[in-house]
Structure 1
Amino acid sequence: MALRSFLLLTLVLALAVAASPIRVRNNRITLPMARRTNHLGIRKVLQNDRNRAALLQGGRQALREAKKHHKGKGNAGGAAANANATATAGAAAANGTAAANGTLASDDNVAATNQGEDYVISVGVGNPPTTYNLLVDTGSSNTWVGADTNKPFVQTSTSKSTGQQVEVSYGSGAFAGEEFEDDVQLGGLTISGQSIGAATEAQGFTGVDGIVGIGPTDLTVGTVGGQNSQTQVPTVTDNLFSQGIIGENLVSVFFAPATSANDTNGELTFGSVDDSKTVGNVAFTPLTTTAPASQFWGIDQSITYGSSNTTILDTTAGIVDTGTTLILMATDAFQAYQQATGATQDQTTGLLTISNADFNNLQSLFFNIGGQSYELTANAQIWPRALNSVIGGNNDQIYMVVSDIGTNSGQGLDFINGFSFLERYLSVYDTANNQVGFAATQFTNATTN
């Protein structure tokens, strides 16, 4: 795709900036990005992913109904359960929150950040800046700080209150507070007047200061100024582009497969794609028009297994999501996958497990997206064996990263390609052209697990 000729500036952000110095080369700013594992949360990885999926499947309308019917002490997960008639959504109810008069509530933003595994970026807010460690989430679009009460939002000379309240609900928590506009520093570059939430209440976030949301801008509708507000809040990506800091309104995400609990193994690139991370070109596919997947970074795909092209999932809509750890697929597809692989369910983790003999015979899984086929090898379909202990598993077991979303296909959001997929392919989220792209990396066929 063509870049604006007057400027090509790629901002590459990484998690855990202390791991290596900032590098400036060819108008590119690169910082290291590290995976953060919450040992308490990851033991509930499947539950967390399903809770998130239930809210995503409910879409914005389900959460509007949740806020309407559960003032004071309601739950967004319950609304998702009504919308989808699923036990999975019912499980999400335990994580829901609600509020009146500016306290925590269900909201139109239907995203959640998995607190088992996530990525955290160092962001400066204000002048002089206060540095916050913020989760990176493609499934939400608001940026906010103050999750840690010991590190609240600090007003400086550049801070300007909008006079409006902000509320966002997540599968694993929620926050409420006041919306500001302020300077935001990313890798030494400054965004002026970035809309940012200052939390006065937050639930469900441990060891982080908030979220930087890089989802579609539409997800911010109803989050600032009340649930009936139609105001869109420009994302960090939007403002980087509109202020001429980057050449294209897109962001790309690169993860390498993890081999330890807190690897420095990724990059977040605003404005372009880091070609040094790809093998071949990025192939793009348009965003799906099927709701509710269309409200997120949603795509259409089918899934087949093995050299015989056994159908696992017919072409349907789902999403690509950094906030989900596993690969989730519709119940009927999951059952077909389990039958094809010979895997059985482990009662401790809830994940599929497979014997060494069956693993030796495990064939590739193919994700067919936009006329391209993306292969997950046998090794890519299993949980990193070096990390079995952090999910409460046995060291000598082989666990699978494909799991059940909790509903049969036909819901309008029948799969989620989470971390386990994104660790094998670089992904690109192109706001300007309403498309998502993928490219192979050196880790696509690696045997790291």
Structure 2
Amino acid sequence: MVSTALLSAIVFALQVFSASALRLPDIARSTAAASNLVRAPVSKKIKQENLKGVATHDQSRARALVQRVSGGKFKGDSQVVGVEIANLATTYIAAVDVGSPPTTFFLIVDTGSSNTWVGATEPFTETETTVPLNASVGVTYGSGFFEGHQVLDLVALGGPLNIENQSIGVAEIQQGFDGLDGIIGIGPVGLTAGTVDGQDTVPTVTDNLFSAGIIPDPVVSVFFAPTNSTFDVNGELVFGGIDTGAFTGDLTVVPVTNTFPASEFFGIDISVNFKGTTILTSSGIVDTGTTLLLLASDAFAAYQRATGAVQDRNTGLLRLTRQQFASLPPLNFVIGGTTFSLSADGQRWPQQLNTAIGGSTNFVYLIVSSLGSPSGSGFDFVLGQFFLERFFSVFDSSGFVGLAPTVFTNATVNN
């Protein structure tokens, strides 16, 4: 159960903005915010007991994502073949009310999936707004799986964001989500294909908010500030547009890549440069459900050689001496012609969490890790939470991704 203090700490606080409605590419060229924007706080939950497996979790998640869109499906009590389960280490959660009278669920905010489901910890209770669909649902993630039944119900995200007859899953069995209630999936709707019996796809919360005219555009923007404390309210979701006050400089907007399988997600094309050398030019995804920054194994090997880091057996992460870290240059990502530089501090695992991953306070560990497969697959990187804590991000369901620097892009917070 979640404490009353936590409830009050992360309950939705909403603010509505006014201006003209614009598509994401137009927003990037405008100084005006979109109309009817609604902001909701997001909290970071750190499960220190699982941090030792953070690299394993992220690799498992990446394999599960690829397998899902490549034909792997969840049926009965089976799981995606070849994908091990690793417990969640760090997550972003938001409070969501379901039903009338409502039950508040604390759900993982996930751009890498699109099903919304509840009941992993806090039980789901049918109310007068619940409509059973007599259909089973199941989704497998790198961090676990759930299986249950599908219902229509009232879903309230705060303020005007009330969705009648939102299709959601209710967990009957689950693995890997202890202490959490489920997921609010804000990825592309195509990721719901094959998850609910008898339905081709399931409209996402973003889709339904847009189709009902509650938000002017099918857009969710995300702002995370770096934090190493669990349950810190360190970010916000904005439904329907962008908050121009959340970033500095220009918003760079790129179309979702055409390269499969990254094209099934919020995938983009980038070039990665380190010490003046291009180590990767390929397609991959931006993902709130991944903790680290993952690179294809050959690009990762090039990065490791250039840094002089060694693979630490205890943590599974790259390790540097303090002297080596003092001369670590930025890791650069060229996206849509704009260079996004991840500073040395941005590449660093938070020092105060070194022992939680089985490391030593005498070394510096890096958040760049291997994807576990070579480049050329069409899914060659994942820009996870540590990247998103340095850059403002926008996810447009019509097929665009936006990124911009923030006041935290070059901040020193991990020492």
Question: Which amino acid is the alignment partner of residue 24 of structure 1?
Answer: Q
4+ residue runs over 6 A deviation: none
1:257 aligns with 2:226: yes
Give, in whole Å, the separation in 2 of the partners of 1:73 and 1:18.
Answer: 37
CA-CA distance at 1:295 after TM superposition:
1.1
Q: Percent identity?
A: 49
Tell me if the contact between 1:261 and 1:387 (Cα under 8 Å) persists in the aligned partners.
Answer: no
Helix, strand or coil at the partner of 2:145: strand
Aligned to 2:413: 448
**Which one of 201, 207, 214 corresponds to residue 232 of structure 1?**
201
Aligned pairs for 1:403-418 (under 5 A) are 403-418=369-384
Tell me if the contact between 1:77 and 1:171 (Cα under 8 Å) persists in the aligned partners.
Answer: no
Unaligned runs of 5+ in 1: 1-14, 79-91, 96-113
**Which one of 194, 206, 216 corresponds to residue 247 of structure 1?**
216
Helix, strand or coil at the partner of 2:108: strand
**Which one of 161, 185, 202 corresponds to residue 174 of structure 2?**
202
Cα 1:77–1:325 shift into 2, 3 Å: farther
**Which one of 213, 216, 230 corresponds to residue 188 of structure 2?**
216
Give, in whole Å, the separation in 2 of the partners of 1:376 and 1:394.
Answer: 24
Cα shift readout 1:329-387 (whole Å, capped 9, x = no counterpart): 01110111011111111111010011111111111110111111110011111011122
Superposed CA RMSD in Å reads 1.9
Aligned pairs for 1:42-441 (under 5 A) are 42-64=51-73, 74-78=78-82, 92-93=83-84, 115-148=88-121, 151-189=122-160, 190-225=162-197, 229=199, 231-306=200-275, 309-313=276-280, 315-432=281-398, 434-441=399-406
Give, in whole Å, the separation in 2 of the partners of 1:165 and 1:146.
Answer: 14
Aligned to 1:98: none
Aligned length: 390
CA-CA distance at 1:390 after TM superposition:
2.4
Tell me if the contact between 1:286 and 1:436 (Cα under 8 Å) persists in the aligned partners.
Answer: yes
Cα shift readout 1:263-310 (whole Å, capped 9, x = no counterpart): 32111111111111100221111111111111111111110013xx21
Give, in whole Å, the separation in 2 of the partners of 1:362 and 1:342.
Answer: 10
Helix, strand or coil at the partner of 2:139: strand
Cα 1:188–1:73 shift into 2, 3 Å: closer
Give, in whole Å, the separation in 2 of the partners of 1:38 and 1:279.
Answer: 31
Tell me if the contact between 1:55 and 1:77 (Cα under 8 Å) persists in the aligned partners.
Answer: no
Provide the TM-score with structure 1 as the length reference: 0.83
Helix, strand or coil at the partner of 2:288: coil
Give, in whole Å, the separation in 2 of the partners of 1:94 and 1:125.
Answer: 28
CA-CA distance at 1:72 after TM superposition:
6.1
Cα shift readout 1:216-258 (whole Å, capped 9, x = no counterpart): 00011111115xx5x2211011111111111110101111111
Tell me if the contact between 2:41 and 2:94 (Cα under 8 Å) persists in the aligned partners.
Answer: no
Aligned to 2:9: 18
Question: Which amino acid is the alignment partner of residue 367 of structure 1?
Answer: F
Helix, strand or coil at the partner of 1:218: helix
Cα 1:376–1:123 shift into 2, 3 Å: same
CA-CA distance at 1:75 after TM superposition:
3.5
Give, in whole Å, the separation in 1 of the partners of 2:98 and 2:231.
Answer: 25
Question: Which amino acid is the alignment partner of residue 139 of structure 1?
Answer: G
Give, in whole Å, the separation in 2 of the partners of 1:23 and 1:177.
Answer: 32
Tell me if the contact between 1:58 and 1:292 (Cα under 8 Å) persists in the aligned partners.
Answer: no
Tell me if the contact between 1:54 and 1:77 (Cα under 8 Å) persists in the aligned partners.
Answer: no
Question: Which amino acid is the alignment partner of residue 404 of structure 2?
Answer: A
* Segment drifting more, 195-204 vs 387-396: 387-396
Helix, strand or coil at the partner of 1:408: coil
Cα 1:393–1:445 shift into 2, 3 Å: same
Helix, strand or coil at the partner of 1:155: coil
Give, in whole Å, the separation in 2 of the partners of 1:427 and 1:213.
Answer: 16
Helix, strand or coil at the partner of 1:281: coil
Give, in whole Å, the separation in 2 of the partners of 1:179 and 1:422.
Answer: 32
Tell me if the contact between 1:251 and 1:272 (Cα under 8 Å) persists in the aligned partners.
Answer: yes
CA-CA distance at 1:168 after TM superposition:
1.1
CA-CA distance at 1:28 after TM superposition:
4.8
Give, in whole Å, the separation in 1 of the partners of 2:131 and 2:230.
Answer: 39
Give, in whole Å, the separation in 2 of the partners of 1:40 and 1:252.
Answer: 30
Give, in whole Å, the separation in 2 of the partners of 1:23 and 1:125.
Answer: 18
Cα 1:75–1:29 shift into 2, 3 Å: closer
Cα 1:118–1:312 shift into 2, 3 Å: same
Cα shift readout 1:147-177 (whole Å, capped 9, x = no counterpart): 12xx321111111112211111111211111
CA-CA distance at 1:430 after TM superposition:
0.5
Cα 1:180–1:288 shift into 2, 3 Å: same
Question: Which amino acid is the alignment partner of residue 387 of structure 1?
Answer: L
Tell me if the contact between 1:429 and 1:437 (Cα under 8 Å) persists in the aligned partners.
Answer: yes
